[in-house]
Structure formats: C-alpha cells, structure tokens
C-alpha cells in the first residue's frame, strides 16, 4: 500500500517559529535558502524544515534537540494519504495519530506508527538521506551491508526461525533419546523370567490327621463318659464307706462294752486291772466274738471299697496329644502355604499388570517416536530451507539492486561507464555478506573513483536501494528527503539525477545549495527558506525568483 506525503507544519521547531508546507504530489521539489544574517547559504533552516517530517514520525532529531532557541515547546504535524484513507500525525508534548474517525495517543499512537510505516530502521533509509552522512549501502563493508539489509527487511526473523528450528530439533532429538531409553527399559522388563507358580500343598495329610484325631476324640468321649460314671460310683462307694466306718465305730463301742463286761466277770477291773471279785460271763464272750467277726468284715469291706476307689481314674490317651500336635503343625504349614500362594498370586498379578503397562508404554513411545521423527524431519527441513531461502533471497535482492543501480548509473554522465555488481558471499558461519565489485569500462581500476564519481555511485545505489527495498515492503512511502545529495557533482550530473527522479512518480524533497545553476525546469520549482534575525521563514515564489 502506498503512503503519500500531503503536507507538514510546525511551531517552535529549531529556528522556525512556524511553518506550513503543502508540496506537489510527486516530482522533484528543490529547497533553496538565503541567509541574511551571514554571507552564506548554510544554516538557514533548510535541513530543519525537512527533518521535521522525520521528527514527526519519531525517526528524526530527538525532542531534546527540537526546541527552538526561545525554549518554547515545539509542535509538529504531518498529513499523509495511506491507501484510500487520510492519516494525521501530531507530535509535541505527546504524539497523536488520527485515521478517519479513530485516534490514538501516547504509546498506542507510537504502535500505530510502527504498524503503518514500520520501525525506524525501515522508514529512515526509505525516506531520509541525511546531509554529509555516508550512503546507506555502497560505502559500507560487505558485513555492514548484509547487516543493513537484514535489519531493514527484518531478515533476522528468518534467522531466528532457523535458530528456533535448530533448537527445537535438538530438543526433539533429546526427546527421542528419552523415548528410546524408556522403550528399552520397558522391553527389558518384559524380557525378565516369569514368576514360577508354587506347588499346591497336598491336603491328604491334614485330612488323614483330622480323621485320626476325630477317631481318638470319639474314644476319649467314651472314656470320659465311663470316667464320669465311675466318679458317680465312687461317690456311692464313699457313702457306703462312711456307713461302714459308722458301723465299725458302733461295733467298736459295743466291743469295748463287751470287753468291760467280760473283765468284770473275770474279776479284773477294766480300769485299773485289779480283781473285782465277780464271776465269768460266757454270754459276753460270745457277743465279743460276734462283734470281732463283724469288725473284721467291716475292715475287709472298707479295704475293698478303698481298692475300688483307687481303680477309678480319669482316662488317659497319649496318642491324642501327639496327633493333636501333628495336626496343629499341619494346619500351620497349610496356613503358611496359603499365605505364600496368595502373596505369589498378588506378585503374578502385579507382574502381569506391569507387563501390560510396559507393552502399552512401548506402543505409546513407539508412536511418540514416529511423531518426533516426523517433527525432527520438519524442523531440519525448515532450518535447511531457511538457509537456502536466505541465500536465494540475498542473491535475488542483490541482483535486483545491481540492475537498478546500473540502470541509474548509465544515465549519469560522470559514471555512465561505471558498473557495479553486488553478490552474496558466504561466510564461515554459514551466513552471507553483500560483496561488491566496481568496473570502469568493463575493467577494475586500482586507483578507484573520483570524489564526484563516488558521490554519484553512492546516491545511485541509495536510490536503487529505496526502490528495491521499498517494493518489498507492505506499506511503501512515496516520498524521500535528500539533504545535499549532489556534493562533488557537476551540473549535468545533478540534472541527470533529477530527470530520473521526475520519471519515478515519487516526491523527492531535495536540499541543494547550488540550485541557482539548474535549468529553468528545476530552478523555478521548490521552496525558498530565508534566515533573518536567527529565525527561518518560507518566502513566496516572487521573492525566491528575485534571489
């Protein structure tokens, strides 16, 4: 989209109290000057008048240098046609951009300027060639030229893309390495021998022991029943024994009485053993014999009862304790085996789950590896494409610049026999430099060019650069300020340059001290600046004609 300069104005800007300029839409506008304060045409404010355009866009002199000698705050304004819309840019205490009914101020306005015109590194070489400055391109080193083109066309973004692509490729390669390591670990886990199942413990031992214990316990229950019956019988015997003892005691008492009776009958005192004087008692003797027999029977019966009691004892089964111990041991082994089997089954399930997870991880990682391999290929292709594209673009750009420069040089008398060639030269780092060769009548000259020829080549190269680079910008400024561009050139060379400018259709604002020497076609057009009392003003066409 083309951007045309329609006019600019300002107040308190350097030596200017106020000014307003509305140039023609295209062609060459020559800015002439006259100094009434000194016998010179320098220092009248010509450069300041044109620098106000760049200052308004934020690429000219800084604000600290824009204040007039009266220390008043400056105010600048430019009017542009951007495509089909009009754009007004004002700069003073703060910047304001107005497009149609929309307005931006401060930082937003600066952002809008960059969006329309591009950054300062782009707009400056396309719209302003400063006075007594080196050319934008020709007289720089090969490295400076490539850096300049990279900066103006923002080729660095492709270099950044290449660096990002290389960095991303390295990251992806690291990711692939990590994925491969994960796959190998998973495959190693899958290759481990499986867990052998435990042999089930035979249940016959426990069943056999349980049957034997049940048989013994049945016998013991029978013995216990017999023992309880014997214990009950023992109670009866105890009662009978008590009865026998009671009878024995009674008979003993009877026996004692019979003994006393017999003693009395014998005349012996049972107490002291002395004679009693009584006669013998046969009946008592007979009773005594009977009592003795009864006592003997009772003693025998008691002895028999006691013997019977001794035979009654709880049943004892030693096999039961042994079998019970064996049964407990068998049950403990069975419980331990069941616990081991359960634990092993858990290990087997965990191993199966781990194997399944490892297989899934292998499948997932293999898929990721394929994706990463594809991305790696793309990133490497991008980096390679960027290097190839940058070299191709540099060659194309420098070829166009060479062609455009030589087309201009062919029209300038003092350099019509001079041709230049710009070509990309690869550096050790893989980049390129914009090398050049200068031929005079088809041959290289060791003594170089004269000052006038050098100025012509520099100006032709800058004009060609503006055409080639501007044609590749989204928004193309259709004006340029050339401050004293013809230094060291003759009149024919200057007019040849201006004739070429007239044909381009852009607006060329040219500051030239020797404009009086131009032919009438150029001398009559332009802007006249007069310095008087340290203040600059724009003079009328009639006043300028009288100079």
Using one digit for the tens of pLDDT, what is the confidence trace for 336-352? 877 877 887 888 888 88
The region of weakest confidence among 183-187, 205-209, 219-223, 541-545 is: 205-209
- What is the reported pLDDT for 113? 92
224 or 501, which is more confident: 501
Query: Using CB atoms within 10 A of its CB, is residue 106 exposed (0-12), middle (13-18) or buried (19+)?
Result: exposed
Residue 393 has a CB neighbour count (10 Å cut-off) of 17
Q: Extract the tokens encoding 507.
A: 């607006």
pLDDT digits (tens, 9 = 90+) for 35-64: 888 887 788 888 899 999 999 998 876 655
Average pLDDT over residues 269-277: 51
Name which residue leads in pLDDT, 166 or 36.
36
In which band, very low, low, confident or very high, does the pLDDT at 522 lie, cut at 50, 70 and 90? low
Check residue 110 and give its pLDDT.
Answer: 92
The confidence score (pLDDT) of residue 68 equals: 55
| Angle CA 128–21–503, to nearest 5 | 55
Domains 2-152+467-545 and 204-325 share a fold: no
**Does residue 473 contact residue 122 with C-beta atoms inside 8 Å?**
yes
Average pLDDT score over the chain: 78
Q: Is the pLDDT of residue 227 over 90?
A: no
> pTM surpassing 0.95?
no
Spatial distance between the Cα atoms of 159 and 157, rounded to a whole number of angstroms: 5
pLDDT for the residue 388? 66
Burial 84-93 (b: 16+ CB within 10 A, else e): eeebebbbbe
What is the mean predicted confidence (pLDDT) over 254-271?
66
Q: Mind listing the pLDDT tens digit for each residue in 107-154?
A: 999 999 998 988 887 788 888 888 766 677 777 777 777 777 777 776
Could you state, in order of their start, the residue ranges of all structural domains in the chain? 2-152+467-545, 204-325
Asked whether the predicted pLDDT for residue 186 surpasses 60, the reply is yes
Q: What is the pLDDT of residue 438?
A: 78
Tens digit of each residue's pLDDT (9 = 90 or more) over 368-418: 778 877 877 777 776 666 666 666 777 888 889 899 999 999 999 999 998
Residue 262 has pLDDT above 80, yes or no: no
Q: Is the pLDDT confidence value at 259 over 70?
A: yes
Give percent of the chain above pLDDT 70: 77
User: How many contiguous H segments (helices) and E segments (strands) does the chain have?
Assistant: 12, 15
Average confidence (pLDDT) over 293-306: 77
Structure letter (DSSP) for residue 280: -
Backbone angles phi, psi at 476, to 5 degrees: -110, 115
Output b/e per residue, 291-307; b: 16+ Cβ within 10 A. Answer: beebbeebeebbeebee
**Residues 199-222: pLDDT tens digits?**
655 556 667 767 776 776 777 777
CB 416 within 8 A of CB 410: yes
* Host H or E run for residue 508: strand 507-511
Tokens for 281? 């008692």
- pLDDT over threshold 50, residue 279: no
pLDDT of residue 257: 74
Q: What is the pLDDT of residues 504-521, one digit of tens each?
A: 989 999 887 765 655 455
Q: What average pLDDT score do residues 272-279 get?
A: 50
Which residue intervals of 312-435 are DSSP H helices? 318-409
pLDDT at 195 over 80: no
How much is the pLDDT for 521? Answer: 58
Whether CATH 1.10.287 fits 204-325: yes
Q: Residue 64 class from Cβ within 10 Å (0-12 exposed, 13-18 middle, 19+ buried)?
A: exposed
What's the fold here for domain 2-152+467-545? Answer: Rossmann fold (3.40.50)
């Amino acid at each position: 989209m083309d951007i045309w300069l329609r006019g600019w104005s300002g107040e308190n800007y350097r030596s200017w109290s106020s000014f307003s300029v509305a140039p023609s839409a295209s062609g060459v506008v020559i800015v002439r000057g006259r100094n009434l304060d000194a016998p010179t045409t320098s220092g009248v404010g010509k450069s300041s008048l044109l620098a106000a355009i760049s200052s308004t866009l934020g690429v000219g002199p800084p604000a600290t240098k824009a204040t007039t000698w009266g220390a008043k705050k400056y105010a600048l304004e430019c009017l542009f046609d951007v495509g089909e819309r009009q754009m007004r840019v004002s700069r003073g205490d703060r910047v304001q951009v107005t497009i149609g009914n929309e307005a931006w101020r401060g930082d937003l306005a600066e952002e809008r300027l960059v969006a329309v015109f591009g950054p300062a590194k782009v707009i400056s070489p396309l719209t302003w060639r400063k006075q007594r400055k080196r050319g934008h391109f020709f007289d720089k080193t090969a490295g400076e030229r490539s850096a300049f083109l990279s900066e103006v066309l923002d080729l660095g973004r492709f270099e950044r893309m290449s660096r990002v692509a290389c960095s991303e490729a390295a990251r992806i390669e690291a990711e692939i390495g990590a994925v491969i390591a994960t796959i190998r670990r998973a495959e190693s886990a899958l290759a481990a021998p499986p867990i052998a199942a435990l042999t089930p413990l035979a249940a016959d031992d426990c069943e056999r022991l349980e049957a034997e214990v049940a048989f013994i316990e049945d016998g013991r229950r029978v013995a216990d029943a017999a023992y309880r019956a014997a214990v009950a019988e023992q109670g009866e015997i105890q009662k009978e024994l008590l009865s026998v003892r009671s009878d024995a005691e009674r008979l003993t008492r009877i026996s004692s009485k019979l003994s006393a009776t017999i003693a009395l009958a014998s005349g012996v005192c049972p107490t002291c053993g002395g004679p009693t004087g009584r006669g013998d008692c046969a009946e008592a003797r007979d009773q005594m014999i009977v009592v003795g027999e009864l006592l003997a029977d009772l003693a025998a019966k008691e002895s028999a009862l006691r013997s019977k009691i001794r035979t009654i004892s709880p049943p004892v089964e030693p096999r039961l304790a042994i079998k019970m111990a064996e049964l407990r041991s068998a049950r403990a082994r069975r419980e331990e085996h069941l616990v081991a089997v359960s634990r092993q089954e858990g290990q087997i399930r965990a191993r199966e789950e781990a194997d399944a997870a490892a297989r899934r991880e292998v499948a997932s990682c293999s898929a990721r590896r394929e994706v990463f391999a594809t991305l790696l290929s793309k990133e490497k292709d991008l980096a390679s494409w960027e290097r190839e594209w940058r070299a191709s673009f540099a060659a194309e750009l420098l070829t166009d610049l060479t062609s455009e420069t030589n087309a201009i040089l062919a029209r300038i008398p003092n350099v019509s026999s001079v041709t230049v060639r710009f070509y990309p030269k690869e550096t050790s780092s893989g980049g390129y430099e914009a090398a050049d060769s200068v031929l005079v009548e088809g041959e290289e000259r060791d003594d170089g060019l004269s000052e006038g020829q050098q100025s012509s080549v520099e100006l032709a190269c800058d004009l060609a650069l503006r055409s080639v680079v501007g044609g590749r910008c989204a928004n193309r400024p259709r004006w340029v300020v050339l401050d004293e561009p013809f230094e060291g050139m003759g009149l024919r060379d200057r007019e040849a340059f201006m004739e070429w400018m007239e044909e381009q259709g852009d607006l060329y604002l040219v500051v030239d001290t020797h404009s009086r020497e131009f032919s009438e076609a150029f001398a009559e057009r332009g802007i006249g600046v007069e310095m008087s009392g340290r203040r600059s003003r724009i003079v009328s066409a009639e006043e300028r004609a009288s100079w």
